[in-house]
Amino acid sequence: MIQRLLGMTVALVLDDVLFHTTDAFAVGLRAQTMGGRIGALSVAVIVMVAAMVGARMWFPRSFFHGFTVAMGMFLSIDIILIHWIFQLHRITSGPEANVIEPIFVAIGLAFLAFGIRGERATSV
């Protein structure tokens, strides 16, 4: 039980750090066009997928499921609360956010379901 909680906590922190690196300036470049903003998000998605593959390959299954749940929580809860309800910021500064954010919420909910179902199956 402690290993699962620790895995979920580490995954949530790692996920939060990786996702918010998209706000950083990369070598002095700033994404000002729609293509640039989508490209920056694409880099973040590639890093997320690489982190998930790494979690699956190098860590116990419980860690992978916790990481997947943390990603799902971040994608869905962060966007719903911070972006939509409190309107603190958006995923991009352009109109493409209106399309991308609902997709990310749906993906986040799928990650939540996948991680929870997977962990329940391994603990039985």
Is the entire prediction scored with pTM above 0.85? no
- Alpha-carbon distance 110 to 57, whole Å? 21
pLDDT tens-digit profile of 65-105? 988 998 998 889 888 888 888 877 777 778 888 888 899 99
Pick from 100, 86, 81, 95: nearest CA to 41: 100
Alpha-carbon Rg of the chain, whole angstroms? 15
Total count of residues recorded for the chain: 124
pLDDT at res. 15: 67
